[in-house]
Chains A and B, each alone.
Chain A
Amino acid sequence: MTDSLNSPLAWINGSDAPELNSIDVGFMALTDSASLIVAATQGFAQPYGLNINLRRQPSWSALRDKLVNQELHAAHSLYGLIYAAQLGIGGPATDMAVLMGLNQNGQSINLSSALKNESVVTPEALELRTHQSETKLTFAQTLPTGNHAMWLYYWLASQGIHPLQDVDSVVVPPAQMVDHLQAQRIDGFCVGEPWGARAVSQNLGFTLATSQTIWPDHPEKVLGCSREFVQQYPNTARALVMAVLDASRFIEQSLDNRRSTAQMLSGADYVNAPVEDIEARLLGEYSDGLGNHWQDHHALSFHRKGQVNMPYLSDGMWFMTQFRRWGLLREDPDYLAVARQVQQLALYRQAAEALDISVPSDAMRSSQLIDGKVWDGSDPAGYARSFTLHALADCAPVAADH
């Protein structure tokens, strides 16, 4: 990295200017990378003297490895990816950091047209199909410890389907989901947009559930980095958060801004998908491929006056409770202590306040999920153990990356 001469000078001068002028930031081809892409390309970081070089990654595991090795300074990341790296699941334990939330909502569980032809178009029909048929269905998610695995498992379990016993799981990078569905290698998948919308528009599948039906306004992608990066270059990290916050606010300022964001994303260097597949769900307009159309009240959001961006401790802790529930963690971690180290609340607060974005005073939030359970961060170990369907450590752990 090209920084040896700048950081001590910045410190000596007592300046809060970024220690680095140029940073490499990873992202995956997904609609929810929008605020990062807009920040990098539309001059949001320039006022801070920072240049954001976007680096698209082929898979979440590739992105994780580069983030951990610091080949990338920061990245559009999954909550589950950051916490698995922190806890050493599927790789060496590395101290990680969540700088801010990038978005809420906007993921979906989709099934193949073949299942639609068998009239497996409701959760009940899927439950019957999994328990009465001799062949197991295969579902794809994007990383064994990723958000999509956790949404898929949570949703299946809420319908009485054991995600580790009643179905098979495979890992497929987001942009390849639709091809895998077409090749009939998978029966369904859970992924971020536009890949669910793409399956619907290509008549290859239908959307059975959105992630916001599992947890309205659930935490999703974050701006992640190694702890070393944020400790070594705090001013750079803060400038990056400010640029992305500003871009998030810009995207939601008007319908025109959202529309042009969809057009930008569709470019070959970014999501590389037709604008029609990106735009509708970015505007909250859903069609499920079964003839239902609706305006979603908990669609993909990037800012909502900062509510989306706050790195709540309880959001980070939730992913650890699910790792525990599904046997990825054999013992309870110190949920609160780990989240306090990972979630960079103080840095986020500085950045948000500098932009007049209000910061909630409570670092925990309370939500009710699809199975009726309330998650508020108050008893993580008890919550992890409270589910009827689980794979708590007495069972074999889930297969790691492949």
Chain B
Amino acid sequence: MLRILLINDTAKKVGRLKSALTEAGFEVIDESGLVIDLPKRVEAVRPDVILIDTESPSRDVMEQVVLVTRDQPRPIVMFTDEHDPGVMRQAIKSGVSAYIVEGIYAQRLQPILDVAMARFESDQDLRAQLHARDQQLAERKRIETAKGLLMKMKSCNEEEAYTLMRRQAMSRQQKLIQVAEQIIAMSELLG
């Protein structure tokens, strides 16, 4: 059973989504108005998916979506009356997995959630790969920097510098990147 966090950003006290979800047999574990710290709320109630019901997504809503995507990534489905393609693009860019304009029908909820979940998973994979690649590139640069510093300090060639760094790392049961960081820090200290 999907654990749903429902955010009601409409003027109505009981949103139209709640009844549609109940009718379709979903369990809403938490419902609240637009909160200031959505990531914290997500961390507390641990939903599988977040549904946002909003007449028109404001900047505040978008900001919350960005924060969730960064800190507590979850599939986010936005139901809205806003037709403006610019707003839609902005919402998708913020991290919304599905943007549904008008008409909430109980029988359509399941496929909408399925698509949102699939979209979210593939986005997460891509993000993880990109993150790994960025980190790898950054590490490689740091190692290169440390190697250069060591070559200068020890007046040795590239291969000797690598060997020295690796031996030092291994005899302390560390990774090469850790020793590289130590060399850079030491060199900054000694100016």
Mark A residues whose CB is within 8 Å of B. Answer: 2-6, 21-22, 38, 41-43, 46-47, 49, 51, 250, 253, 256-257, 259-261, 263-264, 266-267, 269-270
Contacts and interface: CB of A to CB of B under 8 A. Distances in A.
Contacts of B176: 41-43
B129 A257 contact: no
Contacts of B174: 41
14 contacts: A5-B126, A6-B129, A21-B129, A22-B136, A42-B170, A42-B176, A43-B140, A47-B140, A257-B163, A257-B167, A259-B171, A260-B166, A267-B173, A269-B173
Given A38-B170, A42-B176, A2 B143 contact: no
B67 interface: no
A22 B129 contact: yes
Nearest to B175: A41
Minimum-distance CB pairs A-B, first 4: A267-B173, A264-B170, A260-B170, A43-B176
A51 B137 CA distance: 11
Contact of B171 (A5, A38, A264): A264
Interface in B122-144: 122, 125-126, 128-129, 132-133, 136, 139-140, 143
Contact of A264 (B132, B139, B173, B177): B173
Contacts of A22: 129, 132, 136
B34 interface: no
A151 B85 CA distance: 70
Contacts of A38: 166, 170
B139 A46 contact: yes
B140 A263 contact: no
B63 to A, nearest CB: 28
B28 interface: no
A259 B170 CA distance: 9
Interface residues of B, number: 24
Given A46-B143, A264-B173, A250 B122 contact: no
B129 A253 contact: no
B100 interface: no
A21 B136 contact: yes
Given A38-B170, A256-B167, A43 B143 contact: yes
A241 to B, nearest CB: 19
Contacts of A253: 163
A388 B104 CA distance: 80
Contacts of B151: none
Given A22-B136, A51-B132, A263-B173, 5 more contacts: A46-B139, A46-B143, A257-B163, A260-B166, A266-B173
B87 interface: no
B169 interface: yes
Contacts of B139: 43, 46
A3 B122 CA distance: 10
Contacts of A47: 140
B177 A43 contact: yes
A4 B128 CA distance: 12
A49 B169 contact: no
A373 to B, nearest CB: 40
Contacts of B140: 43, 46-47
Contacts of A41: 169-170, 174-176
Contact of A42 (B132, B136, B166): B166
A138 to B, nearest CB: 36
Contacts of B122: 4
Given A42-B169, A43-B176, A43-B177, A49 B129 contact: no
A253 to B, nearest CB: 7
Interface string B157-186: 000001100110111111111000000000
A260 to B, nearest CB: 4
A257 B132 CA distance: 29
Of B126, B129, B140, chain A has the most CB atoms within 10 Å of the CB of: B129
Given A4-B125, A43-B143, A256-B167, A49 B173 contact: no
Given A4-B125, A43-B176, A49 B167 contact: no
A354 to B, nearest CB: 17
B166 A250 contact: yes
